[in-house]
Amino acid sequence: MMNIAIIGYGNAVLNYHLPYLERRENIQVKYIYRREEDRVREGIEHESWYPAIQFTTNLKEILQDSEVELVVICTHADSHVEYATKALENNKHVLVEKPFAPTIKEAVKVFELAKSKGLIAMANQNRRFDGDFLTLKKVLDSGKLGNIVEIQSHYDYFNPRGIKKGGFGMLYMLAVHTIDQIVSLYGKPDDIYYDVRSIYYPGESDDYIDIDFYFGRIKATVKCSLSVKLEHPKFTVHGDKGSFIKYSSGHQKKNPNGPTRVVFEPESESNWGTLAYVDENGVEHNEKVPSEYTDYGILYEKLYQAIKNNGEKPVKDDEILTVLKVLEDGHAIAKEAN
């Protein structure tokens, strides 16, 4: 059994951590830390949803508990490094919500501290276990598309008002997911071309993102926009033997009257992926590809193995730094855009 503590109790914890952790018999959430001001502002009624978890406003209680091996940090990005540093200094492994740190320089310091203590510090890149992305990986691994030529990944919304002035965040809050997915597939890109703009508030937001990554002969494009009214396929892939498209699988619905519960039910066939290819005998195929399940608990399982059994770290330091470099460069370009 591995005891963990979570810092923060917002949307990410309620909908993307706890619903998947409660299915893991080898991982137990012992504490959730909330600042007193957050409890006053947000209330404490929903703490009763998890009676087996100790809620505390005393961070030292967590850091000094020898039973706690892993601290999960789910706070605003500007406090990630502070909390991660405190946890590592108290000999706790850390899992940090994305973005891992505001800057590469700060991230490197956290990694160096973790290494000096023989501990793991890692970003919670849970979107590697989205059902639609796992379905994409299944198709890529099948080899039916042949040599991949192009991948397009979309994460779009429609908000004609745009992000309010000073509202930078699409890169760090949305594109960070899909950028990491591409990096997890192919590693550090050979080249990158950026088109990151402020459509609604020039120079004061990042509401249009179109980034091209090149890995040898493969081009992978990550797109995020607030000007997409019609749903676009989540993934579009072209290879020299065929093509594949998959619309978003979405996520579980929030339950405003109680804790979110994850239900692993097969996705409707109407939203399965579509695969068209020509096999080695020249025969054409057109198939529907059943969707995989979204399960963010898989990342916790892999992290458990890394901590307990010296398993492979599921999200590597260099992958985290590669993603942060893209975010930093894209953010700088958006600020300069007119």
Note the pLDDT of residue 202: 82
Note the pLDDT of residue 254: 65
Q: Is 265 exposed, middle or buried (0-12, 13-18, 19+ CB in 10 A)?
A: exposed
Note the pLDDT of residue 37: 92
| Entry pTM | 0.94
Note the pLDDT of residue 252: 64
Question: What's the chain's length in residues?
Answer: 338
Note the pLDDT of residue 338: 55
Residues of the chain whose pLDDT is less than 70?
166, 252-254, 256, 337-338
Q: What value does the CA radius of gyration of the chain take, rounded to a whole number of Å?
A: 21
Note the pLDDT of residue 281: 96
Question: What are residue 289's DSSP bridge partners?
Answer: 273
Reported as type and span, the H/E element at residue 212 is strand 208-215
Ordered structural domains, the chain, with CATH: 2-124 (3.40.50.720), 127-293+326-336 (3.30.360.10)
Whether 202 contacts 148, CB under 8 Å: no
Can you tell me the distance from the alpha carbon of 313 to that of 218, in angstroms, rounded to the nearest whole number? 26
Note the pLDDT of residue 257: 78
Note the pLDDT of residue 169: 84
Note the pLDDT of residue 256: 66
Note the pLDDT of residue 230: 95
Note the pLDDT of residue 75: 95
Can you tell me the distance from the alpha carbon of 184 to that of 153, in angstroms, rounded to the nearest whole number? 14
